[in-house]
Structure 1
Amino acid sequence: MNSRRRRRTRAAAALVVATIGLSACTTDAGTPTATDGVVQVIAAQDRQQVKPFTGELLGGGHFDTTSMASKVVVYNVWGSWCAPCRTEAPVLKRVSEETQDLGVRFVGINVRDNDAAARAFEENYGIEYPSITTDTSRDAILAFGPALPPSAVPSTLVVDAQGRLAARIVGPTDYSTLSTIVTETAEESGPGSD
């Protein structure tokens, strides 16, 4: 096994077992809190398809997951009212910009918010990738099934180029974790998978 592959395998293994202290914006019993957030990388053979969904976008227009076929897509569940969402916003922006040339796309899923506050949040943090509005986010949340607790905000889900859930982060993410997961998922597809 070459050294690059060993490093990737070790990093993936570390992420699978990592339980990190996170402060998710949730008050529902049974959902992740500051002491039980999770990072989970799913082995390729264990991945499940994410159900297709559609939604209206904050900036206007319509989103359909079929438009993302053959791309790695990072979905981030967020709200402008969520303090950890504000903390991770610069991380999401940076990783989205750094991985765009790899064919990776980011899509926000705005929840329990109003459109004006959500648009102000995106403008404040320079978020340029699209976000599904609160009014149409329910189908997006349900598409991930039990992998996404409905009240776990923020949460980040990485979908591989075959439309399968490759990783999930429940609670705020950091740069190193997100960049590693997204880059390695994109590298699985190989060059020219755009």
Structure 2
Amino acid sequence: MKSRRRGRARAAAVLVVATLGLSACTTGPGTPTATDGVVEVISAENRRQVEPFTGQLLDGGRFDSTALAGKVVVYNVWGSWCAPCRTEAPVLKRVSEESEELGVRFVGINVRDNDAAARAFEDSYAIEYPSITTDTSSDAVLAFGPALPPSAVPSTLVVDADGRLAARIVGPTDYSTLSTIVTETAAESDASQ
């Protein structure tokens, strides 16, 4: 009964968010700055493996996605120049803090930016999870294949504990949607153990 209610709540959240027009930043002069948002929760049997990738972090360290094997990971594609990224930053911070005890990890993928502006953005919103630099973000973006359109900023991708893409949000996310997806994906890995 509880899982049926959870399934209905997830379907309702996806339907509501998917039908809303969400704005997203795009590239190129003359390109529209608003697109319809997409929220897609992928059933376990239809999930595809995310390719491993590495990158340089804004704090100077190195990132290797294989170091997070066995964890649910939320990747957020963002840029300091992106207005919707500023809107969703507090949401990402809050959900990252609330889901940390569930073993969920967050990683930013900074695109088309400079490191100084990106670090200032993170400081401004007190973002504590690591972000991959623009210089090395292309490998991260390519790891998600067609699930991540190249101009879709912001986008949020949730990878399950088996390293498979469990959900994607193209456009800015809200607290209810992200929290529900992250919590349910983390619960899947708990149930399988």
Compute the TM-score of the two structures, normalised by the length of structure 2: 0.93
Q: Which residue is 2:8 aligned to? A: 10
Q: Which residue is 1:153 aligned to? A: 153
CA contact (8 A) 1:19 1:39 kept: no
- Cα–Cα, structure 1 residues 65 and 176, in superposed 2: closer, same or farther, change >3 Å? same
After superposing on structure 2, the runs of 4+ consecutive aligned residues of structure 1 that deviate more than 4 Å are: none
Q: What is the DSSP-based 3-state SS (H/G/I as helix, E as strand, rest coil) of the residue aligned with 2:96?
A: helix
CA apart distance, 1:15: 4.4
Q: What is the DSSP-based 3-state SS (H/G/I as helix, E as strand, rest coil) of the residue aligned with 1:89?
A: helix
Q: What is the DSSP-based 3-state SS (H/G/I as helix, E as strand, rest coil) of the residue aligned with 1:108?
A: strand
- Cα–Cα, structure 1 residues 116 and 151, in superposed 2: closer, same or farther, change >3 Å? same
Structure 2: gaps of 5 or more residues: none
CA contact (8 A) 1:55 1:62 kept: yes
Structure 1: gaps of 5 or more residues: none
CA apart distance, 1:27: 4.3
Q: Which residue is 1:185 aligned to? A: 185
Cα distance between partner residues in 1 of 2:186 and 2:25: 29
Q: Which residue is 1:109 aligned to? A: 109
CA contact (8 A) 2:157 2:167 kept: yes
Q: Does 1:89 align with 2:89?
A: yes
Cα distance between partner residues in 2 of 1:176 and 1:62: 32
Q: Which amino acid aligns with 1:155?
A: S
Cα distance between partner residues in 2 of 1:111 and 1:36: 20
Q: Which amino acid aligns with 1:53?
A: F
Q: Which amino acid aligns with 1:51?
A: E
Compute the TM-score of the two structures, normalised by the length of structure 1: 0.93
Pairwise CA RMSD: 1.9
Cα distance between partner residues in 2 of 1:57 and 1:91: 21
